Amino acid sequence: MQAIVEMDNLAIGHRNHQAVVSDIHAQVPSNGMLALVGPNGAGKSTLLKTILGLVKPLDGGLHYHLDPRKDIAYMPQLCSVDRSFPICLEEFVSTGLWAKTGWWRPMRRYQQEVREALAQVGIEQLAGKLIEELSGGQLQRALFARMLLQNSKLLLLDEPFNGVDEATVKILLQQLKRCRENGATIVAAIHDLELVTQHFDQCLLFDSGTVVQVDCQELLTPSKLTLTKPVASIAKTTSFYQHLTRDKKHA
């Protein structure tokens, strides 16, 4: 399958700090769903920001088969949103159009487009509410709607299902699959391994400064969530996956 982004000997981290992950050789398959899996602090968010261009690579290269300035949309973690900012839901979601319209232009002409994005995630009835009045799940849907408005080829999502209700997870997964059907490529940092094995094609496994790319069905069996033979040798060397396996066996 053709890659939309290629990573060649990539090292990531923040300037003046040691690399969080180095020697990454991986690809983002075009029109695929790629999950980033690993413990907190392993480098998943840093890789998303590096692909987006918010963080510069410490070494190696990123090769794009798209225009990174206009073809990438990003959904940050929920905790990154300042909920005290006095802005209503509709205005907040409409900021997803700024790259196309510029922040100074009146948004009234795009109101229908914004309302449709809200309807796709089931929160159109909350359009006039301040974001500080929204639940975590409602705000997560708002972040997703803002990303949808950008109509991008590559969607980067940082923990989109973390700490939200099952109804929100279901709606966001449906919309992700709809985006894929329309030609988009999805890369998401995910903690829920059952969601990964059920809905994603491939994984980048992060642990102890290393990254390995595998097919999701080679990683875990959906019913028992136990490691399968093709990556057993990899898992034995990583404390994170040993920990996951132990917890599942005792659950």
Q: Which residue has the higher pLDDT, 243 or 5?
A: 5
Quick: pLDDT tens for 9-63.
999 998 777 899 999 999 999 999 999 998 888 999 999 999 999 999 999 999 9
Give me the pLDDT at residue 101, please: 66
* Per-residue pLDDT at 190: 92
Q: Pick from 13-17, 39-43, 97-101, 215-219 the range whose average pLDDT is largest.
A: 39-43
DSSP bridge partners of 127 = none
pLDDT cut 90: percent of the chain above it:
60
**Where do the H-state alpha helices sit in 82-135?**
89-94, 98-101, 111-120
What pLDDT was estimated at residue 233? 44
Using 50, 70 and 90 to split pLDDT, how confident is the model at 243? very low
Which of 130, 131, 192 has the alpha carbon at shortest distance from 157? 192
Q: Is the pLDDT of residue 68 over 50?
A: yes
Order of strands, edge to edge, in the sheet holding 33-37? 72-75, 154-158, 185-189, 33-37, 202-207, 210-215
Is the pLDDT confidence value at 246 over 60? no
Task: Determine which of 72-81, 106-115, 160-169 has the lowest per-residue pLDDT on average.
Answer: 106-115
Task: State residue 247's pLDDT score.
Answer: 44
Q: Where are the domains of the chain?
A: 1-71+152-218, 82-150
CB atoms within 10 A of CB 8: 13
Q: What is the pLDDT of residue 222?
A: 43
pLDDT at 225 over 90: no
Q: What is the pLDDT of residue 200?
A: 94
Tell me the percentage of the chain whose pLDDT exceeds 70.
82
First to last CA, the chain: 37
pLDDT digits (tens, 9 = 90+) for 156-210: 999 999 888 899 999 999 999 999 999 999 999 998 888 998 999 999 998 888 8
CATH number for region 1-71+152-218 = 3.40.50.300
